[in-house]
Chains A and B, each alone.
Chain A
Amino acid sequence: MTAAPGGPAPEEPTREPAVAEPPAVRAEGIVKRYGPTLALDGVHLTVRPGEAHALVGRNGAGKSTLVSVLTGMARPDAGRVAFGGVPAPRWGDPAAWQRQVACVHQRSMTVPGLTVAENLFLNRFPGGPALRWRALRGRARDLLAGYGVDVDPAARLEELGVEQLQFVEIARALSRGARLIVLDEPTARLDAPGIARLFGRLRELRAQGVAFLFISHHLQEVRALCDTVTVLRDARRVLTAPVAGLGEDALVAAMTGEDAGHRRPARAPAPPAPPAPRTDGTPVLRAEGLALRGHFGPLDLAVGAGEVVGLAGAAAGGTTAVAEVLAGLRSPDAGRITVRGRPVRPGSVPHALDAGIGYVPEDRHREGLVPARSVAENLTLAVTGPLGPCGTVLPARTREFARRMIAALDIRTTGPDQPVSGLSGGNQQKVVVARALARDPAVLVAVRPTNGVDVRSKEALLGVVRQVADGGRGALIVSDEPADLRICDRVVAVFRGRVRAEFRRGWREADLVAAMEGVTAGTPGPPTAPDTSTTEGTAP
């Protein structure tokens, strides 16, 4: 690896307070291109031993790409990486990289068909070349117990839930004994207690002198865990500074390139609102006695016109299943769903769509995107009418339609024809949300719509959801993130498939979290009765 030929002269790496020890990792002048996209442009990064270093930036800024370079998964076009003062291993020798750095990648790096135990110790089984299964399972059980994860180590990984899966990956990386650990959005798939456990663990390791590179779009997490932060913007490093002296506004300003203090309006100017069908009080979406055995109990739900309702629940609390039933992906065992008073055939996505339910799935990789196809095509996947007559889709109209959506949600792409797999994670998420909106739904059902989306885009996305409601339609946000739920007019907290409490605007976070975790003690802010089963939509 050589310095970038003709690239910007490698600037001096930021002077750190003089330390005798060589840095845990030092990257200099990293350049990485993907076809026409310059993903990293002469980036420098130094992580000192024992330091918790945050890496932040907007979606597509190049964070994950830098991680790939630092972990030997991608070969930089130019630049140098050194671990502890020693040049990085040859590219293509993954085993050697493994000894230097452990990583929790943003996208799941597990083998679904293998057991939990094997995934934990993939390629570094204790003992000689022959496997001792019993010992392996024992160690796996012990290791996972340390994270409060109770799964059978002999279970196949594909049987695990998202959060358990994430902990398997975290446990694997942290137990490796590397002096440098990279975590690329490790908290995106964890709920609040999970995050607390993870942070506890990280602090312990840090006390032992392990260095971290931590990526998150949650600035409060950065503040809670890290001491130094590096900001990437448009493939360049723009800032490295101690976290302590940096206000959130300054950080966001660095990420977005706007002047600090000049915050753009939280909500985009309202669109030329379509004539809101002022309702006679019929909720746009109503579910009565909806139940799916093993997931959630009989439960009633209503979303009024112009209302945004939050459905809050921990990761495994059955809220995702509610959304999937509403979207027609699963058939409920009991109950009925109506949209604007008209019943919807259960268990059929096309009918749900026709009835006006737009759906943002939980996992964009699994259910959201067709990776090989273009942004335009992904955006218009569900659209039937306006792209051409008689079931045709005219490319010009599709592209035009896509351009509007791209502009509306501020999706960063080279154009409507770019394959969606070439987008950064947050931008892929925006495509999924845009797709759900493309059919002009009566009600939007969104599961963790801002998953992996940067601060500014998060505002924009939630703003769009708000707009949908303001236009006389409704929205149901299924999430456990307070930030998502803030925009809701009403939040219904669910614990183990049962409605536990309902909050109106102005709830306190602690109360909500408590309700989500089933701790019904504490007085909910301005709550309605905890056993409200029929919650009529009320216009705000």
Chain B
Amino acid sequence: NRGSDATGRIGIDVPRTDTDFWDSYQDHLKADLAHGGPAALPLANSQNDIGKVVSDVQALTGQGARAIVIAPQDTGAITAELRRLADRRIPVVSVDTRPDDGPVYMVVRADNRAYGERSCVFLGERLGGHGRVAELQGDLSSINGRDRSEAFAACMKRRYPGITVHELATDWKGEVASAKLQSLLAQHHDLDGVYLQAGGAFLQPVLALLRQRGLLEPVGTPGHLTLVSNDGIPDELAAIRAGTLDATLSQPADLYARYALYYARAALAGKTFRPGPTDHGSTIVKIKNGLEDQLPAPLVTKENVNDPHLWANQSEQGK
């Protein structure tokens, strides 16, 4: 249905396609567009490069996009482009990240600081406030990774000073995470838990390492290392069912896709929103350059792992 919509079309750029999370974000977008969603131009892929985001956006607006959906993984370097789009009165929906500056119509994201904080609380409670945990960080220049690290560190310091945290930078790379964790395990045999900032990248390597070292005891047995992950991809749910992973925070790929399109269409229709609770269980808050819809990011444990509302369970069925 290209070009059929009188109010204009939506230009969408997906940030990358080499992770499970963004891959299913893209799947949901496609599914929603196919099922009577708004008219959109073909998706562009910026391969995790902010320069490409800008050039894609320019190509999309050149082709007549009247609203833009992006997920800029670098929140600073998108500023100029946001200003340019504002000058041309093209509304922007930013998914997953909150641009530092430059007007946005709506930010659709789960709160990454909340990920770090809730992971910290989960670990803190499970370990009873003392012990030793490793934190597999992402790419230090990624805003989401940094938010998680900062919130986790602040929370640990404030609420669980008895827990020693070893921060390991990994560039979102599984083999780096595995190597560093292995070194740490050689040094500290008394490790109690691991916080995996991205289940998509770290889960299998960490499980493989623990299995090799004979440390992969099921949840609830003595000697078990508490593992908390973020992302909520199907692999993580499977691990929770299998009793190897304690918990994950499900980043709602489906909701990202659905509400990105929802707000883009609303923008085309000229609708405006105001801060406050929404009809889909989230809250819109005011930020300095626009509004942000903070979508719920449920904590998934053995108890609710089969909840059909979890996006990973849906995509499993969809396939």
Q: Do chains A and B touch in the complex (CB under 8 A)?
A: no
